[in-house]
Structure 1
Amino acid sequence: MSRRKKTLKPRTLVIASVAWLLAALFLLPYAEMVITALRPADELRDPGYLPHHFAWSNFINVWSDSTLGDNLRVTLLVAGGSTLLALAVALPAAYYTARIRYRGRKYFLLLVLVTQMFQPTSLLVGLYREFFQLNMLNSIWTLVICNAAFNLAFAIWILTAYIASIPVELEEAAMIDGLGRIGALRRVVLPLAMPGVVTAVIFTFISAWNEFVMGLTLSTVPASQPLTVGINSFIGDYTVQWNYLFAGSVIAIVPVVVLFAFIERQVVSGLTAGSVK
């Protein structure tokens, strides 16, 4: 028997066309960024969309003509360290909040949510003065602590919602079999809550990776600044090195795009935790 070919309905075709058009509009700036990163220096002001020849050496020279290597190392340490610190604090707090019905639980969650209302820019003067007195300016630990603190509220909320969706009877059965509270958390709750953990990890990591204002204010030595601030060094007082600026931008977004592509399913699962009862 020959299978009938499915014909697309006009409505489906229109929706698909609009979706592809919107996707192309969103991807166009990224395409322009990659093309500009491959332009030779003498073709930066040419009116054509594509250069006459591609200068792949821009991605090599950008490392030797700047402190981009040190900036990338600082960003990796800051993003990784702040993610681990935020997760180490948020996981016990979320577990206790989700499992223990103590007095003031709602006020605690509300207080955690209120901390999200404070933008880093409004606290920069106080943070700068505090870390200056502690002699911690130009330190990786300073950026790790600040990024972890500003992402802690989101991690607590997403982990609380996911752990609360896990049946408590599974932990009770594990504790009847001889496991303690910590053992049940490690062997039962954590494997089941892994999508929520991954969601908290990826959002904290991306937020710390893309942070600019605190890195610019709390780090004044070029080699100790994060990648977002290091890329900004290609913008001079009178000239802008557009090819190096966009080459550094491409280098900066590639790790995050690859990381998100691998764990996209876990992120979606974590964000929808608790939406279905």
Structure 2
Amino acid sequence: MTQPSTAAAPAAPAPAVTAPAGPVRANARPRRTIRPRTVVIASVAWLLAALFLIPYLEMVVTALRPADELRDATYLPSHFEWSNLVNVWTDSTLGGNLRVTLLVAGGSTLLVLLVALPAAYYTARIKYRGRKIFLLLVLVTQMFQPTSLLVGLYREFYQFDMLNSVWTLIICNAAFNLAFAIWILTAYISSIPVELEEAAQIDGLGRLGALRRVTIPLAMPGIVTALIFTFISAWNEFVMGLRLTTVPESQPLTVGINNFIGNYTVQWNYLFAGSVVAILPVIVLFAVIERQVVSGLTAGSVK
């Protein structure tokens, strides 16, 4: 008796795998959807930026206008007078004024660094009696306006025969910016752990060696912040330079630019050309060290 043979059923063919039409990236991220709120905030930010930049753009355009088109009600001149940027140096004392401003800003910044750094380090590390009173007095000096002290300062420097001197402007600008520098540096040095200095002293360094090799490199953002604000304040100072200097060659750049405004006429092209020269170094300097300035201003805010 024969049994029926069972034949194996043929296997079903495997489904074909189709490759994707386009290239597949390994770390492909989902496309972010832009929210209407983000669009509104970005639009408002660009609008505010344009409002702040339009006056500077107008200043540059006016600096390049020909003299006979200064009163024309047009946005752009018929041609740009590039010689204005050259004649402003030859037809005035602006070159000497720029040299005075560089000396005053650089000297004031250096003097503030030499005085504020030791004072801030001692205040941050030594818990002496009257420490809070000292910081309060430093803050109170920041409330005095240079204009309110102008008469006394003028009489004092007049008696010492120091009018029309670069050193006079250096001392005044350093004195009015010293309080801010001490506060910034005290906050930043206080945020640096004192154990780092103690470890350096155990390794053989003295207090000054630990300050130079450990504290100062770590406090560099705060130092840069204090220095850049001192430099900008001394660069833009006007009232002291106007009253404590009477000779055109010894006046700072801000006062030299003001001399283009006469009793009956205003040299608008030279006035704005000098203004462009005055703001360019500050813009470039702040753009280069903007990150360190932000880091210094936020020192001590996060524990």
TM-score normalized with structure 1 length: 0.99
Give the equivalent residue in structure 1 for 2:94: 68
Q: Supply the distance in 2 between the matched residues of 1:21 and 1:161 (Cα, whole angstroms).
A: 35
Give the equivalent residue in structure 1 for 2:56: 30
Give the equivalent residue in structure 1 for 2:148: 122
Q: Supply the distance in 1 between the matched residues of 2:148 and 2:44 (Cα, whole angstroms).
A: 40
Give the equivalent residue in structure 2 for 1:234: 260
Deviation at 1:6, TM superposition (A): 2.2
Give the equivalent residue in structure 1 for 2:181: 155
Structure 1 or 2, whichever has the larger Rg, is 2
Query: Higher helix fraction: Structure 1 or Structure 2?
Result: 1
- Post-superposition CA distance 1:219-251 (Å, at most 9, x none): 000000000000001000000000000000000
Equivalent of 2:198 in 158, 172, 175: 172
Q: What are structure 2's unaligned runs of at least 5 residues?
A: 1-23
SS at match of 1:117: coil
SS at match of 1:51: coil
1:108-119 to structure 2, matched below 5 A, reads 108-119=134-145
Opposite residue 225 of structure 2, the aligned amino acid is T
Deviation at 1:108, TM superposition (A): 0.1
Q: Supply the distance in 2 between the matched residues of 1:215 and 1:7 (Cα, whole angstroms).
A: 55
- Post-superposition CA distance 1:240-263 (Å, at most 9, x none): 000000000000000000000000
Q: Supply the distance in 1 between the matched residues of 2:290 and 2:116 (Cα, whole angstroms).
A: 21
Equivalent of 2:229 in 200, 203, 226: 203
Question: Identity of counterpart residues, as a percentage?
Answer: 84
Q: Supply the distance in 1 between the matched residues of 2:300 and 2:54 (Cα, whole angstroms).
A: 36
Q: Supply the distance in 2 between the matched residues of 1:247 and 1:158 (Cα, whole angstroms).
A: 35
Q: Supply the distance in 1 between the matched residues of 2:248 and 2:31 (Cα, whole angstroms).
A: 61
Are 1:97 and 2:123 an aligned pair?
yes
Opposite residue 138 of structure 1, the aligned amino acid is N
Q: Supply the distance in 1 between the matched residues of 2:206 and 2:227 (Cα, whole angstroms).
A: 26
Deviation at 1:5, TM superposition (A): 2.9
Deviation at 1:184, TM superposition (A): 0.4
Q: Supply the distance in 1 between the matched residues of 2:272 and 2:161 (Cα, whole angstroms).
A: 34
Q: Supply the distance in 2 between the matched residues of 1:95 and 1:140 (Cα, whole angstroms).
A: 29
- Post-superposition CA distance 1:161-198 (Å, at most 9, x none): 00000000000000001111110000000000000000
Equivalent of 2:291 in 265, 268, 272: 265
Q: Supply the distance in 2 between the matched residues of 1:114 and 1:21 (Cα, whole angstroms).
A: 38
Q: Supply the distance in 2 between the matched residues of 1:7 and 1:71 (Cα, whole angstroms).
A: 54
Q: Supply the distance in 1 between the matched residues of 2:298 and 2:244 (Cα, whole angstroms).
A: 36
Are 1:146 and 2:172 an aligned pair?
yes
Q: Supply the distance in 2 between the matched residues of 1:5 and 1:46 (Cα, whole angstroms).
A: 51
SS at match of 2:31: coil
Deviation at 1:273, TM superposition (A): 0.2
Opposite residue 105 of structure 2, the aligned amino acid is A
Q: What are structure 1's unaligned runs of at least 5 residues?
A: none
SS at match of 2:135: helix
Give the equivalent residue in structure 1 for 2:162: 136
Opposite residue 186 of structure 1, the aligned amino acid is R
CA RMSD of aligned residues (A): 0.7
Are 1:6 and 2:32 an aligned pair?
yes
Q: Supply the distance in 2 between the matched residues of 1:17 and 1:121 (Cα, whole angstroms).
A: 40
Q: Supply the distance in 1 between the matched residues of 2:259 and 2:33 (Cα, whole angstroms).
A: 54
Give the equivalent residue in structure 2 for 1:193: 219
Q: Supply the distance in 2 between the matched residues of 1:135 and 1:5 (Cα, whole angstroms).
A: 71
Deviation at 1:8, TM superposition (A): 1.1
Give the equivalent residue in structure 2 for 1:248: 274
SS at match of 1:217: helix
Q: Supply the distance in 2 between the matched residues of 1:208 and 1:45 (Cα, whole angstroms).
A: 34
